[in-house]
Structure 1
């Protein structure tokens, strides 16, 4: 990353942004927020993170957690505004990452890193073939059967990391809003999801046939090259 250091329009706009943010922070307290205000600030966070992500791929990787975290905060505000009471995920996040690790291992997905980043975000990082396998496991049963057959015939799971990330993002979004998956500079796939989405995914994984078979992916076929074998 190379910074120019030359004065220009970006510096003036950035200064205006931080002044506005400070003014908002001084005026805000827990009793004065509305769901609309939370949504606006969350949108501003996403826009600013997107602007900083243009600096280089490493910055983009660091800031990739912002969209899903912002979405989780907006969801929390919407639930509070609707009178849904205390945010469910905030009380039940302690064991979410551990449960997700156990569910992944039960399906033979052992090359992963799962992190709980506060109460709003769970991340999981996998090799591309394992990300593709997880996407398939999280798909609906009709899609599972169809994609497993594709694996037998066409080497499902052997495609590029971008394909694995797209498939995993699509699968995760069926379990909750705000989930994402992207390819890291290392070539691995990193996914971010809210604790509620993670809990739903864990429930789906543990309900899948073969979840207790410790690595034997029954019915997924030999197309998962590089996943089951080490």
Structure 2
């Protein structure tokens, strides 16, 4: 027998409201205010569901980071920019996430979680040490100079291993395309958000072998031990 609580009618009303909102959406229908209200509703609902258990909170903790990334994207990209359909299968989020996982594992960045959060966002969650390693690796692949933290990032640098790793990873990811971010989750892990363009470029960078060092200009003498001179010596 299904147990009914005082929350049931409220939850049902929420479902009805969300369905009505989804039915009304279409090209050009989303205003910045509507996006903000819907994002806030999603955050509030996530917070309420997170109180179910620590496990539920762990599962849902990626949602606030995704909502924050959505807000940033709406602020910088017109709402109509994402409406065009991409015909290139290489930009499909499923293809990108499938390729990103082995690319991370190839560099011993284990224990990661790659999630597809809609057509415009992929997230990668790692522990602080692996997030820092990824930041260093990506910076080296693009030969990024060491940068001083931006004013808004200063409180995160040095605040702790996870905060420092997130700030470092955010700087490195910015060179791989727009719509990237890195934040610390409540669990202490670091989650990074990547647009399809950034995910593709990061995957390509991780799969690219670093250039080998140039050979020495001095020829090596083969077969000559210590104390031996070249065959022309003594002429």
TM-score of the aligned structures, taking structure 1 as reference length: 0.58
CA distance in 2, matches of 1:66, 1:100: 22
The aligned counterpart of 1:193 is 194
1:55-134 equivalent positions in 2, closer than 5 A = 58=57, 61-64=61-64, 65-69=66-70, 75=77, 77-79=79-81, 85-87=84-86, 92-134=92-134
After superposition, give the CA deviation of every residue in 1:99-157 in whole Å (9 maximum; x if it has no partner): 1112212222122121223423212111111100111122230427x99xxxxxxxxxx
CA distance 1:184–1:37, change in 2 (3 Å): closer
1:99-178 equivalent positions in 2, closer than 5 A = 99-139=99-139, 140-143=142-145, 160-178=161-179
CA distance 1:101–1:25, change in 2 (3 Å): closer
Identify which of 14, 37, 45 aligns with 2:30: 37
CA distance 1:22–1:107, change in 2 (3 Å): closer
Whether the 8 Å contact between 1:161 and 1:187 is mirrored in structure 2 is yes
**Count of matched residue pairs:** 185
Instruction: Considering Cα pairs closer than 8 Å and 6+ residues apart, tell me whether 1 or 2 has the greater RCO.
Output: 1
Whether the 8 Å contact between 1:68 and 1:194 is mirrored in structure 2 is no
TM-score of the aligned structures, taking structure 2 as reference length: 0.57
Whether the 8 Å contact between 2:62 and 2:191 is mirrored in structure 1 is no
CA distance in 2, matches of 1:29, 1:54: 25
The SS at the match of 1:182 is: strand
Unmatched runs of 5 consecutive residues or more in structure 2? 1-13, 149-159, 212-235
The aligned counterpart of 2:39 is 46
Select the structure that is richer in helix. 1
The SS at the match of 1:37 is: coil
CA distance in 2, matches of 1:170, 1:194: 15
CA distance in 1, matches of 2:31, 2:87: 18
Max Rg structure: 2
